[in-house]
Amino acid sequence: MAYNNVQFIGFSINTLPAPDADPNNPFHSKYLGNVNSKIDLSKRCQVMMDAVRTAAKSASIAGGNTLKIFVAPEFFFRGEQGAYPLEEVSAILPRLRQWTHSAAYKDWLFVFGTALGYLTDGPTKEIFNIALIQRGGTQSDDKDNARLVMKEYISRVDFIRPNVRTGAPCPSCGTFVHTSDFTNWDVNRADHRLALADKPNQRMTILRPTRGSRDHLAKGTNAPGRGREGSASGLGGGGHFTMAGIRFGLEVCLDHFKARLRDSPPARGEDYPQIHLIPSAGIQIAQASVACGSQGIIFNVDGGGHVHLAQNAGTYDAPHVNNWAWYFPPNTVGWADVGLVKARKDGAEYFVGGGGLVFISHGVAIPAAVPAPP
């Protein structure tokens, strides 16, 4: 059906590693979860659906002419090792569809945060940080109902890494690496890409970005350019897609900071995104990186604690962020409803702080589509 309005639902839950006071842990932090990745994935799916159900029960949820857009943060699915063997990531969307295919969610679109997987490539690991997108009310996994968007850049904070403040060297490389700012992190140096993506043996591994990424050390780098963010199958990882009759742009965390979508605008005659989605864990909306048309809506849900809804009051070429609703404790002004996700005994312990909150916006008119000039 054609929708007149959208309503944004942000699942605010801390997806960052937890501090660890164990004197035998030189990193002073640890990933939470279950060492059995299949159990870990199952429990995280249950926590995700707890948040969805919390939102759906709210009296603030709009009616059928409004598309409900539910967004969870980056790193929601990562497990006790920091990343899953890649083949296990494919089980997440089918598991969630067992619940979201219900007719009760036919007017919903879900961004289930991101899932991290890895492929072992000799002495390195290729990292896949994948945003999981699914229409509600269907079992279909075709490009009109399901999408995967790959994050291109690996951030200095994406994984547990050596930290100069720990007072202990990395057990594999014997060196310190500053993590307090970008200037002390050289993405061109392989030894600065050492991180824990396979925790049980406490060995650091050189992490490579997904093949085709623009990040350093990636194999087969793809150049940016007009029309480069489309995906005919929905599995190609591009950040531009149409779903529920709305044109979206989606980029994950550091990709937004690096202006990934800005560097690859739509092809001539294609519509600019009407809605720009940013699941993240450490990034806020950056005005210079906004990549939607005039009056387009930007929605950022961050695993570090904030939810941010804004509008592009400028144009695609000269964006201007007009803040509608911020959440950064304790400011909740601008949200129609805030709901506490009840912490469960068998899953919420995978997240620092427990079950999290859901923030529900007022209904917002869908902005008109604006085509890129010929």
Residue 192: what pLDDT? 66
Please report the beta strands in the chain, taking only residues with DSSP state E, as ranges in sequence order.
5-14, 18-19, 29-30, 66-71, 84-85, 108-121, 124-135, 146-150, 194-195, 205-208, 240-243, 246-250, 275-280, 297-302, 307-312, 321-327, 337-340, 352-360, 364-365
Residue 333: what pLDDT? 80
Cα(290)–Cα(285) distance, rounded to whole angstroms? Answer: 8
H/E element, 95: helix 92-100
Cα(150)–Cα(210) distance, rounded to whole angstroms? Answer: 8
Contact assessment for residue 185 and residue 193, using Cβ atoms and an 8 Å cutoff: no
Contact assessment for residue 208 and residue 218, using Cβ atoms and an 8 Å cutoff: yes
230-233: long-range pairs with CB below 8 Å, 24+? 230/267, 230/270, 231/143, 231/147, 232/143, 233/143
Cα(48)–Cα(319) distance, rounded to whole angstroms? Answer: 33
Q: pTM for the complete prediction?
A: 0.93
Fold classified for 5-365: Nitrilase/N-carbamoyl-D-aminoacid amidohydrolase (3.60.110)
For residue 146, give both structure tokens.
Answer: 């399901």
Cα(263)–Cα(280) distance, rounded to whole angstroms? Answer: 19
Q: What is the pLDDT along the chain (374 residues), one digit of tens a residue?
A: 689 999 999 999 999 999 888 887 777 889 999 999 999 999 999 999 999 999 999 999 999 899 999 999 999 999 999 999 999 999 999 999 999 999 999 999 999 999 999 999 888 899 999 999 999 999 999 999 999 999 999 887 888 876 544 444 444 443 433 343 333 456 666 766 778 877 666 677 888 899 989 888 888 888 899 999 998 887 889 999 999 999 999 999 999 999 999 999 999 989 999 999 999 998 999 999 999 999 999 999 999 889 999 999 999 999 999 999 998 766 778 899 999 998 888 777 899 988 999 999 999 999 999 999 88
- Report the DSSP beta bridge partners of residue 246: 243
Domain boundaries, given as residue ranges, for the chain: 5-365
Residue 142: what pLDDT? 93
Among 183, 157, 161, residue whose Cα is nearest residue 173: 161
For residue 46, give both structure tokens.
Answer: 């249950």
Residue 343: what pLDDT? 85
Residue 26: what pLDDT? 74
Among 297, 304, 261, residue whose Cα is nearest residue 279: 304
Contact assessment for residue 91 and residue 41, using Cβ atoms and an 8 Å cutoff: yes
Distances (CA, A) of 149 to 131, 135, 187, 209, 320: 5, 15, 22, 14, 25
Dihedral sign from CA coordinates of 325, 285, 114, 94? positive
Q: Locate tokens 């999408």: which residue?
A: 147
Residue 215: what pLDDT? 87
